[in-house]
Amino acid sequence: MASIVDSDNDGVEFATPTTSVNSSPNHKCSLRDDEIPNVHPSKFRQSISNEERYMHNQGRSRSLYGASPNCYFGPKGRIMKNSANTLTIQDPGSQRLTWYNVPKTTLIIKKIFDDTVWQPFKDIATWLVKEKNMTVYVEEKVMEEPNVINDNEFRALANQLSTFQEGKEDLTDKIDFIICLGGDGTLLYASSLFQQSVPPVMAFHLGSLGFLTPHQFTMFREQITQVLEGNAALTLRSRLKCVVHKLAIDGPDMFEREKSPETHHHHHTSKKHIMVLNEVVVDRGPCPYLCNVDLYMDGRHVTSVQGDGLIISTPTGSTAYAAAAGASMIHPNVPAILICPICPHSLSFRPIVVPAGVEVKIMVNPDARNSAWVSFDGRNRQEITSGDCVRITTSIYPVPSICSQDQIRDWFDSLAECLHWNVRRQQNSFSRTSTSTYSLESLDLSNNGDSDSPTDSNTFSPGFSTSR
């Protein structure tokens, strides 16, 4: 990994990007490799590329991941080098989209049977087909909507659109670019369609909340043209890879397993990995009893969870269900997994954040009074019984979400506009005419320290005003 001396001349080195994150050969998009040569600072400006000079002129000389840790400790100690476990992370501030082939196919995900999204969908599909000469894919359900059937003008264009059915067709090698029209649910649905490499996603805010949809539709032509030209910032939203293991029992019925020593147990693994963008939720379902599950980290039992359930969330999902359950909100560039209990039967069970590389396993406790239920981004809900488990870890295939401005401003704008984060009426300033401020000299000290004598209630502390 290369390094660059901080422009503030404080002698601290900062990590710079060295690798491409999306290296799938089947895709036409990648991230620009902004590696800065390891040269003497006096020759730095002559050696950097135009793109690096652009990033440098924007005033960002520090990596968004912070300072590279010093691997040497004292005169003789250092971290053992292990090339097998070396992880190279690209600086999020340099993640910008580029195309090594001209994108030809676009997938439009719209909110189904929503009349407010119909006209924007019609406008953008017509523009992409007629002016950009792109192949447009839509879900087959869209062609069954009354607006499509009854619109004579759009009917001719509808014959030029390609359709797909969820779960029946693999879109991995067909789609170059994704456009979402609706709310956050459209982005979650788009993520679920791709179990491996995900094309760049541009989400327009046409729904209710719109925390994950930063783009406004009014200037869609200019914004999409800019993206197709390869000039846009990206936020790589990490996903969770999940698999359900069912406990299979050979021999007598499971209720007789304790009575029969011939009963054999083994885990049957689901063949399908489920990709999750927001969170995995394990809860007690319709049962009135506490949910009782065991939590493991990298194969080690950490704790048992007794309560309404447990949320395993990505940083993207930390502003969704986890935030409502009392967890902290995490920027999507932070490589982490958030574990948050739902109404735990313990006052000391607080949400925790663990490294993104760990494997989390949730298993129904053998002594649990009832089964549990698991859902993935609010979908694929299924029951898990005693001995069943869910394994969760961070996927190597993130969702490349196209920013409206950049990774930092988009996130804080969404916090302010959608969640009204830290919205409070401003405290009034002190008035020079009506405020009396006490000092040590103005206090009545005639009581000579007699604590039993009554004092003026307004002289509770020197230097404090009685007015709020």
Q: Confirm if 264 and 249 have CB atoms less than 8 A apart.
A: yes
Per the DSSP assignment, residues forming a β-bridge with 364 are 293
pLDDT at 42: 38
Do 206 and 186 sit in the same domain of this protein?
A: yes
pLDDT at 358: 93
Name the most confidently modeled range: 196-210, 224-238, 317-331.
317-331
Domain of residue 283, residue span = 240-394
Average pLDDT, stretch 288-317? 95
| Stated length of the chain | 468
Do 67 and 24 sit in the same domain of this protein?
A: yes
387 versus 272: the higher-pLDDT residue is: 387
Domain boundary among 70, 95, 120: 95
Which runs of E-coded beta strand occur in 41-191?
A: 72-73, 77-78, 97-99, 105-110, 135-139, 162-164, 177-182
Average pLDDT, stretch 115-125? 92
Per the DSSP assignment, residues forming a β-bridge with 288 are none
Name the most confidently modeled range: 25-34, 57-66, 86-95, 285-294.
285-294
Average pLDDT, stretch 66-73? 66
Do 383 and 281 sit in the same domain of this protein?
A: yes
Count the domains in the chain. 3
pLDDT at 157: 87
Residue 281: which CATH number?
Answer: 2.60.200.30
Do 200 and 69 sit in the same domain of this protein?
A: no
Do 234 and 244 sit in the same domain of this protein?
A: no
What distance in Å separates the CA atoms of residue 190 and residue 405, rounded to the nearest whole number?
Answer: 22
- Residue range 271-285, pLDDT digits in tens: 578 999 999 999 999
Query: Residue 49: pLDDT above 50?
Result: no
Q: What is the mean pLDDT of the chain?
A: 78
Do 55 and 166 sit in the same domain of this protein?
A: no
* 31 sits in which H/E element: strand 29-31
pLDDT at 167: 80
* Residues assigned a catalytic role: 184
Query: Residue 109: pLDDT above 60?
Result: yes
Do 59 and 123 sit in the same domain of this protein?
A: no
pLDDT at 169: 83
Confidence band (pLDDT; 50, 70, 90) for 156? Answer: confident
Query: Residue 467: pLDDT above 80?
Result: no
- Residue range 171-225, pLDDT digits in tens: 888 999 999 999 999 999 999 999 989 999 999 998 788 899 999 998 899 999 9
Give percent above pLDDT 90 in the chain: 49
Q: Which of 444, 443, 441, 438 is nearest to 467 (CA)?
A: 438
Structure tokens at 281: 């939720």
How does 428-466 read in b/e, with b if 16+ C-beta sit within 10 Å? eeeeeeeeeebeeeeeeeeeeeeeeeeeeeeeeeeeeee
Do 248 and 390 sit in the same domain of this protein?
A: yes
Name the most confidently modeled range: 126-130, 158-162, 446-450.
126-130
In a domain, 431, yes or no: no
**Helix 220-228 and helix 115-130, axial crossing angle in degrees, nearest 10:** 50
